[in-house]
Amino acid sequence: MIEQLSLGVSDPERAGRFWAAALGYRRRAPRYDGDEWIVLEPPPGTSGTAIAMDLSESAAQEFPRLHIDLDAGERSLDEELDRLLALGAQRVDWRHYPTDPHQTEPPYVVLADPEGNRFCLSGRREPSAR
Q: Residues 78-93: what's their mean pLDDT?
A: 96
> Is the CB of residue 119 less than 8 Å from the CB of residue 64?
no
Task: Give the tens place of pLDDT for each residue, 11-49.
Answer: 999 999 999 999 999 999 877 777 778 999 999 999 999
Q: Which of 1, 61, 2, 53 is nearest to 23 (CA)?
A: 53
Domains of the chain: 1-57 (3.10.180.10), 59-130 (3.30.720)
In this model, does residue 129 exceed pLDDT 50?
A: no
Residue type, position 97, single letter = Y
In this model, does residue 94 exceed pLDDT 80?
A: no
Percent of the chain with pLDDT over 90: 62
Q: Where are the beta strands (DSSP E) in 28-122?
A: 38-41, 50-55, 68-71, 90-91, 108-112, 118-122
d(CA 81, CA 91) in angstroms, rounded, equals 9
Task: Give the tens place of pLDDT for each residue, 44-76.
Answer: 999 999 999 999 999 888 888 889 999 999 999
